[in-house]
Chains A and B, each alone.
Chain A
Amino acid sequence: MSFCCSCSSCCSCGNIKTIAKRELGGYFASPVAYVFIVIFLLLTGFFTFMAGGFFERSQASLESFFTWHAWLYLFLVPAVGMRLWAEERRVGTLELLLTMPITTLEAIVGKFLASWAFLAIALFLTFPVVITVNWLGSPDNGVILSAYIGSLMMAGAYLAITSMTSAMTRNQVVSFIISVVLCLFLILCGFPPVTNLLSRLDSPRLVEAVAALSVLTHFDGFAKGVLDSRDIIYFLSIIGFSLFTTGVIIRSHRAG
């Protein structure tokens, strides 16, 4: 109760909480959420144990689990986020939401946090792999935790980008496609085949600059157990920029 009071005294945080609660409830009210979680778990399992060669490595680490996350999220995160604004606009509830005594930013942040929390829940449900690897050997659990944090950051960055594309259109499919393309760009500029291609240009500076844009480059640190502030800032600035742009897009739509 005291928490509640302190929260409602800070108006902004109360509104964000209200919106996030509704949004998260919206996910679990439909079977889509459960389908998504099952698909996510099946795919992570498949990539870790089959494609990733978890057992062949015979190492007590979750490297084979985490290397696929950037690619898995490429499709799964836009699928979670595409409805964020497109649906509100299509149904007309956007008009209801934005004529409430709240700011657009509170609405954007509330909705973003809810879907991020949803992704966090899905990610949390992969904990059996952690148990498995601890049971089979003795991995460095600090590295695993750091990789989980990195994975969550990466999901947040993709999600913020999807929030932005979702605000552009009332068509969820269009929003999905645009965000996949944008996220794919963020992967590819650090993807070894692409960086190798670029290094032929004989300009190591350029390669480095392009690779610095990539989520792969920045996730790498987390996966190795190194919490570098530059990597954290990278993900946070993608989130901040994309959410800010979401606000600009929503405002420009209303201006007509």
Chain B
Amino acid sequence: MIKVENLSKSFGPKLAVDGVSFTVERGEVLGFLGPNGAGKSTTMRMITGFIPPSDGRITVGGFDMVANPIPAKRLIGYLPENAPSYADMTVEGFLSFAAELRGMRGDARKKAVSRAIEMCFLESVIYQSVDTLSKGYRHRTCFAQSIIHDPDVLILDEPTDGLDPNQKHEVRSLIRRMGARKAIIFSTHILEEVDAACTRAIIIDRGRIVANGTPEELRHKSEQSGAVLLCVSGQPSGAVSERLNHLSSARRTTIVKEENGKVWARVYSKSKNTDGELARNVMQAAQGWSVEELHTEEGRLDDVFRSITLSETAKEVSK
């Protein structure tokens, strides 16, 4: 549905987006991750046709966004960053306006508005003016606007920004549910959202894609992926790390923390796929200790995120 090829954008001398390519098909929810200023919003603004690209090509549903923007825009629902809306309008008035610009009239418009109101839990504020709403409601009003025409493509720029934990949860599950029938891109810097809602994630840093894969695949890039965490009580940390370090399948061991006579140690695997070999080895090594806890770690996205984006920055600095 969405095809982005070699997309670039420069603001004066500054290259905000640098040769980004990816595709999103129907049924996919693509998470767009990256530190602040990475170029997420700029990329989304180009995909939605708000700003023209400096270079590259965008097609949405087969329509070129630059050459043929109107039919391409018809397919897209867009929630811009900070969820802007017309402060002087009521929620109902604002959604009717959006529906009308989407070409709906009469009954079709009324139905679309009430459907969006229901999906975004706005029933209690229908006739309230937007500037009297709390931030969460204002945000959901703009979100409702983006799904008013049940679009095939949804572009959501930080859809959970500024919401409370319950609202975040609602929005995530809404995205996941809609993702079955649509092509969705949403940006975030909250990593747990990737697990909660995405089928695939792209990490973007200083305008470039630095990682692209399913949340599983990304997690595997973590150093911690496949590591074994062991907690024993009544042993000095030195003895624990000494014995674990000598395991043939272990690369190295770190002591995570010591507390109330318990020691937590993390044993990093030498190879990625050990089929539980490391865990078995650790269990053998721990014979005679009183083991409190032992499990294999999946790897954590925030480690991947940090190691990728930080090491890139470090490289840049050393240049």
Contacts and interface: CB of A to CB of B under 8 A. Distances in A.
B84 A99 contact: no
B200 interface: no
Nearest to B78: A99
Interface of chain A: mostly helix, strand, loop or mixed: helix
B62 to A, nearest CB: 15
Interface in B257-310: none
Interface stretch (A43-51, A90-98, A135-143): A90-98
A248 B190 CA distance: 38
Given A96-B85, A101-B102, 8 more contacts: A8-B103, A14-B100, A14-B103, A19-B101, A91-B87, A101-B70, A102-B70, A256-B12
A131 interface: no
Interface stretch (A24-32, A115-123, A208-216): A24-32
B127 interface: no
A254 B52 contact: yes
Residue from A11, A19, A29, A95 whose CB has the most chain B CB atoms within 10 Å: A95
| Number of chain B interface residues as a range | 35 or more
A15 interface: yes
Interface string B51-75: 1101000000000000000110110
Nearest to B42: A256
Interface of A: 4, 8, 11, 14-15, 18-19, 22, 25-26, 29-30, 91-93, 95-96, 98-103, 254-256
B51 A100 contact: no
Nearest to B51: A254
B192 interface: no
Nearest to A7: B105
Given A4-B105, A256-B10, A103 B89 contact: no
Contacts of B93: 25
Contacts of A18: 97, 100-101
A22 B86 contact: yes
17 contacts: A4-B106, A11-B103, A25-B88, A25-B89, A25-B93, A29-B89, A95-B45, A95-B80, A96-B78, A96-B80, A99-B78, A100-B73, A100-B102, A101-B70, A101-B73, A101-B102, A256-B9
B10 A93 contact: no
Contacts of B106: 4
Nearest to A5: B105
Given A101-B73, A256-B51, A92 B84 contact: yes
Given A101-B70, A103-B70, A93 B51 contact: no
A22 B97 contact: yes
Contact of B89 (A8, A15, A22, A254): A22
Given A92-B84, A256-B11, A99 B89 contact: no
A88 to B, nearest CB: 9
Contacts of A19: 101
